[in-house]
Structure 1
Amino acid sequence: MSTTTSSPLLINDYQPPARSVWRTLRNSFAHRGFAIGAVLLLIILFGALFAPWLAPYDPYTQDVMLRMKPPVWMANGTWDYVLGTDKLGRDYLSRLLYGARISLFIGFSAALISGVIGTIMGLLAG
């Protein structure tokens, strides 16, 4: 009598099928929260990158004669200053676009620096 023995399939031998990057991205966009966050991040990145061309005015120029202009959707609001002006007469839209550049730079720099420090500490720890 002959018996055939085969090696049992071990859990460690299992490899899930490879998934493409596009399939993973498509599945991620199926979730509403991810899609909304990704679109908002892209809009902010676009506005920050193209701020010099999108901003209607210089964000640092002060004009006291234009102070406290209301936004366009309020009474007496004009399309000249879509988001209005502050108490020094600076355009809010221009300041928002240029401020996004600084905020994104600080956020990405903090993530990069913490990643580098964590990697170095992980390598030193073994």
Structure 2
Amino acid sequence: MKRPIELKMRFVVNWTLRHYHSDLKHDFAFIQMYDPDRFIWITHECGTHFARFWKSEELPESGKSVPYLFGTATRERLVDNELEALRNCFNEAVHDFYLIEPKIGTFRKIRQKEAVAMLEEHTENLHKLWQEEKRNVA
């Protein structure tokens, strides 16, 4: 991750969060572990959250489930739930949304509507890819 992004994230956390400043440590660990091309970073006074642009290779194979919350989930459920959470669990009155692309240095505040549109397009593209995979197997 580029150093200016790290500094901007630290600034936002110090300016925005009243509680759970330690979320930033987990955010940096996520970036280090998964090396995302991009993600939506959501901040509010009680912490941070990520909306992931999942890479197909990070997800389970077709028909396989993985442990998820209090049960299991398929790859379709994982990406659909990510989008559903972004749509329904956050709002601009209390949350700020940032598009972060660590490899190229993008750190840009965006509207929730824009974040949802980006993740919708990404999720739709994953579903199209998986439909194509199913057709090729059949």
Could you state the TM-score of these two structures normalised by the residue count of structure 2?
0.30
Task: Look at both structures and tell me which one has the larger radius of gyration over its CA atoms.
Answer: 1
* Higher fraction of strand: 2
Could you state the TM-score of these two structures normalised by the residue count of structure 1?
0.32
Higher RCO by CA contacts (8 Å cutoff, separation 6 or greater): 2
